[in-house]
Structure 1
């Protein structure tokens, strides 16, 4: 299960209850199966799943954390502030192919931003049955939108008391869907006033417990004894936590006197801000509806039967299931299926479970049960499934989905023999064919976003290898008729060193697969050494697949997949792996072109940025440049310090876009500004002249710029800006402000643009900061908030006598950005100071918190 208990413990009081109530109500109002709420994270540009109602969290871990710039419906709803309606899988694939490839199941979905005042806190999302078009779910959409609006108003009240109270950085709280049908089992309700310790029970609960209602209308301890004789202390603790505004992670099962499980749902009044003191608790006790007669009937079936709730917990197991799964009933009940039966985990098993939870139709597949005493067949990380011993047993598994429960059946099955070929055969166990389960479109979409050979290799390791049960990967690229290792994972240290740089005449399977264009599959290491005598072995047992990487008829390299145990590759797997190798080859070919262009662009940019800044004995300056970590990794930001008459010109600019063209345009503008500055032209003339140059060049790009001409003797600077962010000025006494600097439009748009000039005074000990938007802009956040954060960081750099120099302050202000791994834009920063008494700034905390891992 998820670590929802820690998340609940750390959640702000009242927040968890609000989100759980909204999610379960969304399931009801939208006729859905699943609902959840994403909230802003403490990390810049991240949304985290806070509550998930109706699904087990571990199976959906890839969707716990989303960046607001990703091509997903949740991100669009948050970033754009608009509802996203996907009535069916076809519409989802058309608009969000990456999202649909990750969850290729027939369901519809709604995504509604949660807004309070002028603030967007997150997104309320609902998964529901498919519809023909959006008009069929218009009523549900309106109801969910109204629910999101009410939730936003409540979150706004929480945020006014504590802004950090409406962010989420923990694992999601996973709760069951609301019980909507009495037929699902007998149920009864109660209310508890913790102030007076009195319980009010309804007649249904009294009937369920076989106790007169009057006996239940007393202290809560008596109720706990009647509902959960075996879990009295646990139930009382859950009631107290709920009254305090900290509802326990759900589902909450308690044991009746005969050992059967009862589901306990607890709610409290959702007030925001929370009222002081404990709040009344309302509870629902549900006795699963299989009933004694149903259990007795299922106990006699010749096939194994498990009943799961929507969070994957086993609620019933017949004796035959225990026999086939080699688990006692006590080891199954109340545990997630993938924990109670670990060999059903792994990528393929998780894919089956996701399909059963999100699809209306039954899911059927074969699974190999390990022999012996029931030891796991899979690796500890669940990356491989299938039998591992001679006395293995294969099971035919079926999962029948329902709105509140899932029924799993198990029966013995026999494997179908696969024909052997020249490189497969013998008595090697055949691994289950997962090729139909693995979706090539998922790999294709993931590869489309990879732009370097390393990123392509990482995608293969993450998306392809686990789906086929592999544990080792090596990718070689061809250069000057030799193969060089581009990526390796799982091989012993130094094992691949002898193969580095081998020529195309070497007698090695990795070479032969490329020169012949034919994949090679070896179901055991013995067969590999028989085909290639003398080849070094990295393991005593195992199997290997060697795939040619050929794109558009041109050899790119070769790929080696490694498996820890002998196995037979089915015909379907061979066909799928061969086809997927072509996708990998095309991605690597694209990556090679990209890396060549990127190297050229980086060299161009480094050549264009100043190697050193013009110096003056009365002025200290320092600059920092950080390239973006996404896309081309280069952009058009620049800074410069130029001698201008008897003064200094301080310049910072930002050319729109990224790549070679942006860097080249930046170089032209920097040269033009330097030429104007060396001629000691006034700031307005410098910007006007540069504006005319950019319009004449007509590169299809525009640029922003801020230009100051500083007199080092007096500290007076005359400044003008063209669409650029305003400078920051930290005065000697520590007061820091945004400089009120009227400006004109960006460069390259209007040939008649004018740029007013303003005087700014830089006193001894003051610090002037010029910066580009990459330092202060965050997706989904107001840029004014980012500027304020930078201003606060600069203000807190107090000036003790032994403070760090200006370069240390520049490092401090860019510290968070340097630690951010998904920086979408490049960053330029230029600091200037006139040394004076007490001018040295000391370190302080960065403007924003640390970026999440």
Structure 2
């Protein structure tokens, strides 16, 4: 009935009359229901998953039609994963996928990992509101577009019966727990089979593989063609016993036959110069293999039947399609549309060996070219802005959502006689980009040689199109949100700083390099009267839109209290109380400096911010020792002290945020000291050029360290006032 394990009823080892425990009884009943369902519906693979609630994982506990080795990659599925099994359990409904094309559109990652022509059904196992797991069935891709009434009834019946078994076990105090994956009714390995004498008379080699991929029979001609003795091959997997078949692409041909239940051909070279053609014929018990000598691909000058010996093209070379899984990871890591375009053109083109690639999107009824490489320049220009009503292969792929493959230029010209843009290409693939329930564009692949697309390659490329579509849709959303967020941040920072007699000002802001991680760094200069001003710099904790919004509130509060005449310590205290009243979970550092330009002095208060750096007129620099108070937003009654600092004519006061100096793995005090040194060593130059130099140095440092935080810098240079108008606003007694 299968391997031991599978289901276990917790704490119930009672033996029944036939010697089986309660857990084994449940195993047997589920095994029977699963195999009966597969037989009644004509499916060739079936599996049962159980939900492990504490881990939010679905575990496969019983499978029929494939070996444990084959099923293992799909044996653990995260409940949150975008795959059919998880979706059926999450949403409590059947998931039916009629073809690999539909699988690529709805579940591109699953399609990329399962590039075979199959149809599948997943139903949740439930009792009321309790979720137990799921039941999966797989048919060949030749299945009808919909389940028949008989199939649907059989599935629902098995679903309810298994769910009742699980409910009954739980009600009896022995809930079923997943243990080892169990294969149901595996075929035995046989060294000899009836009809062996018959196969010995055939002129070609024949062998048989079981569901584990092991050789259970081969005739003498097959052993001779493979170059090994029969006793060395029986019980072994071909790709393990024969080094020249030890490549994933050959094992994948076996898997393709196993999953699709369709004849699957490939050719391989047995060193030094023996080319062999293999054709795999699968059924529910295993695979029969036909082996014949053949000519090197492309050198016999004859057309071959597609199911016998298709030519090995660059795309079908060993291992090529398996790189697509790695490429899907690269697309997953791509952030913006530009990143997706670079990943597609730089990483995908070389692996699938195409000479031309164009990535097109549909936007407001017209085509936009996101990326184009390898095609003549006129191709991209002709597509950009093209209305979706035009007649072309790419627009048809967008309109229908169906991929199209043209093995040679003549095929394309027969379908679209007016097309004359692809003279330099000889074969084409048009992959619809399907995401969020709609076709958002098309990926056009061009080949410089005629290219027959095998069914397996078509499935793999269609799946890749699905992954590209999801990456592109995610990137477009990111770019839109990022543009809005950056616009919000820019709107909250001052566009122009006021002119104050006797004060030269330069400001710089450099956003972080971490995509959507917009920060809350801010600065401001507030003109109080003709001879006094307030300079502010701060940093709201976090890197998100909330931090940017709070930054705007802090800046407004500081501006309001400063304009009302509050001294530095009171400005910070009042702003702190505002943040407490707002109940924000984000803290803010802030430094406030009142500049008295008539008397050349500054009064400074700080709330957990980095110390300012003062460059004296003679070039010496000093890191100012300012009493540091608590960050804003922590303690309602926090108090702040001030420090009085002389500002002689020609002095430069530098206010900055941590992005200018902080580097991961370095001491912050040492980094501030380096800033002071750079300020001291800077050549005489306009203040704006000095600000640009300091920010550029910081940008180079963070690029080399692969870090990155927002940078805000405010430089203030005091000039001589030959003539002052108005009076300085008093800021209280000096200490």
Instruction: Give the TM bin, normalised by the shorter chain.
Output: 0.5 to 0.7
Q: Could you say which residue in structure 2 is the equivalent of 1:811?
A: 692
Change (3 A) 1:471 1:761: farther
**Corresponding residue to 2:553 among 668, 680, 685:** 668
Mapped contact 1:395–1:410 kept (Cα < 8 A): no
Q: Which residue of 2 aligns with 1:220?
A: none
1:640 maps to which of 515, 524, 538: 524
Q: Does 1:794 align with 2:656?
A: no
Q: Confirm or deny: 8 A CA contact 2:573 2:640 kept in the other structure.
A: yes
Q: Which has the higher contact order (CA 8 A, sep 6+)?
A: 2
- 1:75-86 alignment, distance < 5 Å: none
Asked which structure has the greater CA Rg, the reply is 2
Structure 1 CA distance for aligned equivalents of residues 603 and 499 of structure 2: 19
Deviations 1:80-134 (A, max 9, x none): xxxxxxxxx99xx99xx9xxx9xxxxxxxxxxxxxxxxxxxxxxxxxxxxxxxxx
Kept in 1: contact 2:605–2:642 (CA 8 A): yes
Work out which of the residue numbers 555, 567, 571 in structure 2 matches 1:682. Answer: 567
Alpha-carbon distance, 1:565 to partner: 2.4
Indicate yes or no: 2:454 matched with 1:592. Answer: no
Aligned position for 2:650 = 765
Instruction: Report SS of the residue matched to 1:632.
Output: coil
Tell me how far apart the structure 1 counterparts of residues 428 and 278 of structure 2 sit (CA, whole Å).
Answer: 22
1:502 aligned counterpart, secondary structure: coil
Q: Which residue number in structure 2 is paired with residue 850 of structure 1?
A: none
CA distance in 2 between counterparts of 1:535 and 1:422 reads 30
1:418–1:541 distance in 2 versus 1, CA, 3 Å = farther
- The 2-side partners of 1:523 and 1:416 are apart by 23
Instruction: Measure, in 2, the Cα distance between the counterparts of 1:787 and 1:832.
Output: 18
What do residues 454-502 of structure 1 show as CA deviations (whole Å, max 9, x unaligned)? Answer: 1112122233222211232211111112221112222222332111122
Q: Is the 8 A contact 2:628 2:641 kept in 1?
A: yes
The C-alpha deviation readout for 1:698-732, integer Å capped at 9, x for no partner, is: 34322211111110112211111112111111111
TM-score, normalising length from structure 2? 0.56
> For residues 410 and 667 of structure 1, what CA distance do their matches in structure 2 show?
73
3-state SS in 1 of match to 2:541: strand
Distance change in 2, residues 1:780/1:534 (3 Å): farther
Q: Is the 8 A contact 1:434 1:468 kept in 2?
A: no
Counterpart-to-counterpart distance in 2, 1:486 and 1:425: 40
Kindly provide the CA deviation profile for residues 759-816 of structure 1, in whole angstroms up to 9, marking residues without a partner as x: 1222111111111111112233333333222221111024xxxx42110111111123
Determine helix, strand or coil for the equivalent of 1:504. Answer: coil
1:703-714 paired onto structure 2 within 5 Å: 703-714=588-599
CA distance in 2, matches of 1:701, 1:501: 45
Cα 1:716–1:491 shift into 2, 3 Å: same
What's 1:698 paired with?
Answer: 583
SS in structure 2 at match of 1:658: coil
Q: 1:477 aligns with which of 342, 354, 361?
A: 361
Q: Which residue number in structure 2 is paired with residue 782 of structure 1?
A: 667
- Structure 1 counterpart of 2:380: 496
Correspondence for 2:254? none
CA distances 1:546-566 after superposition (whole Å, capped 9, x unpaired): 111111312211111222322
Mapping 1:325-724, distance limit 5 Å: 364-365=246-247, 396=269, 412-414=274-276, 430-431=313-314, 432-433=316-317, 437-632=321-516, 634-644=518-528, 646-724=531-609
3-state SS of paired residue (1:503)? coil
Matched, 1:744 2:629: yes
> Is the CA contact (8 Å cut-off) linking 2:320 and 2:352 kept in structure 1?
no
Distance 1:810 1:596 in 2: 31
Offset, 1:423: 13
Q: 1:539–1:699: structure 2 CA closer, same or farther, 3 Å change rule? A: farther
SS of the equivalent of 2:442 reads strand
Structure 1 pair 737–575 and aligned structure 2 pair: CA distance change class (3 A): same
CA distances 1:363-422 after superposition (whole Å, capped 9, x unpaired): 82499xxxxxxxxxxxxxxxxxxxxxxxxxx8648xxxxxxxxxxx75533455899999
Query: Mind listing any 5+ residue stretches in structure 2 that lack a counterpart?
Result: 1-72, 82-108, 110-239, 250-266, 282-302, 722-735
**Helix, strand or coil at the partner of 1:535:** coil
Q: 1:731 aligns with which of 601, 616, 622?
A: 616
User: Secondary structure, in 3 states, of the residue corresponding to 1:825?
Assistant: coil
Tell me if the contact between 2:664 and 2:707 (Cα under 8 Å) persists in the aligned partners.
no
Pair 429,364 (structure 1): closer, same or farther in 2 beyond 3 Å:
closer
* DSSP 3-state at the match of 2:450: coil
Contact 2:568 2:642 in 1 (8 A): yes
Counterpart-to-counterpart distance in 1, 2:475 and 2:719:
48
Structure 1 Cα separation of the partners of residues 304 and 466 of structure 2: 22
Q: Secondary structure at the match of 1:476?
A: strand
Query: 2:360·2:441 contact (CA, 8 Å) conserved in 1?
Result: yes
**Contact kept? 1:546, 1:558, Cα under 8 Å:** yes
1:495 partner SS: helix
> Distance between the aligned counterparts of 1:738 and 1:363, measured in 2?
69
Equivalenced residue count is 446
CA RMSD of aligned residues (A): 3.7
Q: Tell me: CA distance 1:434–1:572, structure 2 relative to 1, closer, same or farther (3 Å).
A: farther
Confirm or deny: 8 A CA contact 2:485 2:518 kept in the other structure: yes
| Alpha-carbon distance in structure 2 between the residues aligned to 1:706 and 1:639 | 9
Instruction: Give the corresponding residue for 1:206.
Output: none
Helix, strand or coil at the partner of 1:657: coil
Give matches, 1:230-309, under 5 Å. Answer: none
Structure 1 CA distance, aligned partners of 2:471 and 2:673? 42
Shift of 1:526: 2.5
Q: Identify if the C-alpha distance between structure 1 residues 673 and 363 changes in structure 2 by more than 3 Å, giving closer, same or farther.
A: farther
Once structures 1 and 2 are overlaid, which stretch shifts more, 821-830 or 789-798? 821-830
Distance change >3 Å, CA 621–CA 518, structure 1 → 2: same
Residue number in structure 2 paired with 1:46: none
From the superposition, tell whether residues 363 and 771 of structure 1 become closer, same or farther in structure 2 (CA, over 3 Å).
Answer: farther
Residues 617, 443 of structure 1: CA spacing in aligned structure 2 closer, same or farther, 3 A cutoff?
same
Shift of residue 442, structure 1, vs aligned partner:
2.8
TM-score, structure 1 as length reference:
0.48
Quick one: structure 1 residues 768 and 533, their matched pair in 2 at CA, closer, same or farther if it must change by over 3 Å?
Answer: same
Greater displacement, 435-444 / 789-798: 435-444
Quote the Cα distance in structure 2 between the aligned partners of 1:635 and 1:763.
Answer: 34
- Give the whole-Å Cα distance in 1 for the aligned partners of 2:305 and 2:602: 81
- CA deviation after TM superposition for structure 1 residue 657, in Å: 2.2
Cα distance in structure 2, aligned partners of 1:427 and 1:441? 24
Q: Alpha-carbon deviation of 1:428?
A: 7.5
The answer for the alignment partner of 1:321 in structure 2 is: none
Helix, strand or coil for the counterpart of 1:781?
coil
Pick closer, same or farther for the CA change 1:781–1:818 going to 2, 3 Å: closer
2:713 to 829, 840, 843: 829
Instruction: Please state whether the residue corresponding to 1:611 is helix, strand or coil.
Output: coil
